[in-house]
Amino acid sequence: MAITKDTELKKAINTMLTSIGEQPIQNVNDLAGLSDASIAKDILANVSRAVQSRGWIFNTDLDVILKPASSGNNKGQIILAENVLRVDTVNRLRDPDNDIVERGRKLYDRQTNTNIFEQGTEIKVNLIKELPFEDLPEPAKRYITIRSARIFHDRVVGAGELHKFYQEDEMQAWSTLIEYEGDTADYNIFDNYDVYRVVDRLPGVSSNRLGYNVIESYTT
């Protein structure tokens, strides 16, 4: 059987449903009357977004050049795509005058207090994007599914004896995801963007302490 978008999503939702003894669903797009399945789908979406918002090698585009719109109502503005979760300005550590942040899905220059940029302006950024669940690597899908299942179980059934077992599975899946990230990313050069991302996941260490500013544009 071919693996499709719905197949991957249905598999994750059914894992969550079976954790509380519910019957699996057949169609992720038709959940009418299936309240538990609807809750599971929403939790999975929220957890996926929150996990991806941290920024990983698989959902980060590096050194992207953004330019202001040349015409229309948004002329001079730099509008971010809907799937952009976070914007990290490049070389901000080396260039204190580079003070670009996100406001209302647009880039904003805090030095000049405006979201209007001159034509010809080019701003280099790293973009953290929200990917569809089926496009995530297997370690990420597994962690998101297990974490979602724990949250779903606690919300629908309540925390009980199984809670600690779900936590253990979640911690193991997290370790696997971190290992995948480390194996995939390039940490050989300290000022590499990947280094700052992995430093943020080390206990007691934050890239902000190194002067690397992260502009967050998401809620969890």
How far, in Å, are 29, 122, 154 from residue 83 at the CA level? 21, 21, 29
pLDDT in tens, 119-161: 999 999 999 999 999 999 999 999 999 999 999 998 988 766 6
What does residue 158 show for φ and ψ, rounded to 5 degrees? 105, 150
CA-nearest of 68, 81, 73, 70 to 108 is 68
**What global pTM score does this model have?**
0.79
Instruction: Calculate ∠ Cα 15-54-200, nearest 5°.
Output: 125
Give the pLDDT score at 88: 87
pLDDT of residue 206: 40
pLDDT above 70 (res 172): yes
Contact 44, 13 (CB under 8 A): yes
Q: Given this model, what pLDDT does residue 98 score?
A: 72
* Tens digit of each residue's pLDDT (9 = 90 or more) over 69-110: 999 999 999 999 999 999 988 765 556 667 899 999 999 999
